[in-house]
Amino acid sequence: MLSLSKYEGRKTSILRQAHDEAFRWLIASLLVATVGLMAPPATAEPENFDLWKSEFPKTDFTRTTVALEEIRDDGNLRDTISSIDSPRFQPVSDLSAMGLLEPVLSLIINGDARAYPLRLLLWHEIVNDVVGGVPVLVSYCPLCNSGVVYDRRIDGEVLDFRNTGRIRHFDMVMYDRQSESWWQQFTGEAIVGAKSGSLMKVVPARLESFEKFRRRAPDGKLLIPNNVMTHPYGETPYQGMDSEWATQSRTMLRERYPYELPEDMSPLARVVVVGDEAWTLELLRVRQRVETDKFFIDWEPGQNSLHDHPLILAGRDVGNVLVRRRGEGGVLEDIAYDVTFAFAFRAFRPDGVLHVNPQE
């Protein structure tokens, strides 16, 4: 098993202090471990599998689309990272305590415009919401910088999502409250449980600065904390990840993220993923625009990184990305995309095409 990164450990420490409920699961873990000492090792099962089953009694672990051994504990337990199930908003014009260049995950459905700041999402990772009459799951995994919005309706049923406390390829594994099936955040696929194989529909959203969202949706809404005292919103425990390739051991990084990438490319380099293709952010920074026969990708400066400075509003500029196509009558339409780390693209799209050469 890969060792946990320092960012996972730091986040776990903060979250354990903030969520008293986690201690109940910790006690359960100790009890299961004690019982386990008296039984022979179950080599065919993942480590802590008994704890998984005690936390998720409704989950059908006999139905999977992936090997259970690929899923691992990251120091958290069920709901240790609490989802936002009753989101609160304020008009964007009322902003008073957020940097204008801070990143938000934003969407507009049927005229309903909402922005979800990463300063909140990094602590909660999941928001169950209804936007323009559509039940949506707003998801963000800071370990791989993946932010995707999904339609929560599966076979006519509206699902509510929460966090298992587990990861696969450093990406959050979610569960739905109705069946307790486990879902991969990056792909939107159910990978364990009764709904294994089901796939959520992606809802086009933008990762952009708050300033850009406010300009295009002056009557839009901004997600705000239900309780500002529960987390140090505006701060990030993931600082320094942007500089690891230059300052840390590259051998150790390769061991932590054992995915096939160009030799001189950091696993933590940002890439823009559209389907089974990805373009490095550095390529986009050089070219400003990439065009294919189906869509075009634009880049412009003016968005703080979440993985640089301890204060998000002081993070380095990684820029804004927008992916669109021309629809009927030449009307521009948003295309679903994800600005994520290179290792995540290669982990979940092993046969995908990665564009790194500015001359391509």
List pLDDT tens digits, range 232-266: 999 999 999 999 999 999 999 999 999 999 999 99
Instruction: Out of 15-24, 82-91, 166-175, 276-285, pick the least confident.
Output: 15-24
3-state secondary structure of 87: coil
Task: Using a pLDDT cut of 70, give the percent of the chain over it.
Answer: 87
Which residue did the predictor score with more confidence, 205 or 27? 205
Weakest-pLDDT range from 32-41, 47-56, 249-258: 32-41
Nearest C-alpha neighbor of 277 from the set 266, 293, 288: 293
* Strand-pair category, 221-224 with 112-117: parallel
Instruction: Please determine, for residue 38, whether its predicted confidence score (pLDDT) is greater than 90.
Output: no
Query: Would you state the pLDDT for residue 301?
Result: 98
> In the structure encoding, which two tokens stand for residue 14, read together?
């903060």
Handedness of CA 268, 273, 276, 279 (dihedral sign): negative
Per-residue pLDDT at 16 exceeds 60? no
Across all residues in the chain, what is the average pLDDT? 89
Are 282 and 269 in contact by the 8 Å Cβ rule? The answer is: yes
Nearest Cα residue to 103 out of 322, 319, 287, 284: 319
The dihedral sign for the CA sequence 175, 260, 345, 232: positive
Q: Which residue's entry shows tokens 């300063």? A: 119
Q: Which two tokens stand for residue 354?
A: 């990665």
- Residue partners of 81: CB distance under 8 A and separation at least 6: 15, 123, 124, 125, 126, 163, 165
pLDDT higher than threshold 70 for residue 225: yes
Report phi then psi at 246, rounded to 5.
Answer: -90, -25
| pLDDT tens-digit readout, 283-342 | 999 999 999 999 999 999 999 999 999 999 999 999 999 999 998 888 999 999 999 999
175-191 b/e (C-beta count within 10 Å ≥ 16 → b): bbeebbbbbbbbbbbbb
pLDDT of amino acid 330: 84
Higher pLDDT, 113 or 23: 113
Contact 166, 72 (CB under 8 A): yes
Eight-state DSSP code of residue 341: E
Within its chain, how far is the Cα of 141 from the centroid? Answer: 2
- Residue 41 confidence (pLDDT): 38
pLDDT at 201 over 80: yes
Residue 8: what pLDDT?
53
Check residue 7 and give its pLDDT.
Answer: 57
Q: With 60 as the cut, is the pLDDT of residue 29 above it?
A: no
Written as one string, the DSSP assignment of 171-189 is EEEEEETTT--EEETTTTE
pLDDT at residue 35 tops 60: no
Cα distance between residue 313 and residue 38, in whole Å:
52
Q: Where are the domains of the chain?
A: 241-355
C-alpha pair distances (Å), 287 with each of 280, 322, 360:
11, 14, 10
- For the segment 79-95, the average pLDDT, to the nearest whole number, is 95
- How many Cβ atoms from other residues are within 10 Å of residue 357's Cβ? 8
pLDDT, position 329: 84
To the nearest 10°, the Cα dihedral for 34, 8, 86, 51? Answer: -20
Question: What band does 11 get if pLDDT is binned at 50, 70 and 90?
Answer: low
- For residue 14, the model assigns a pLDDT of 45
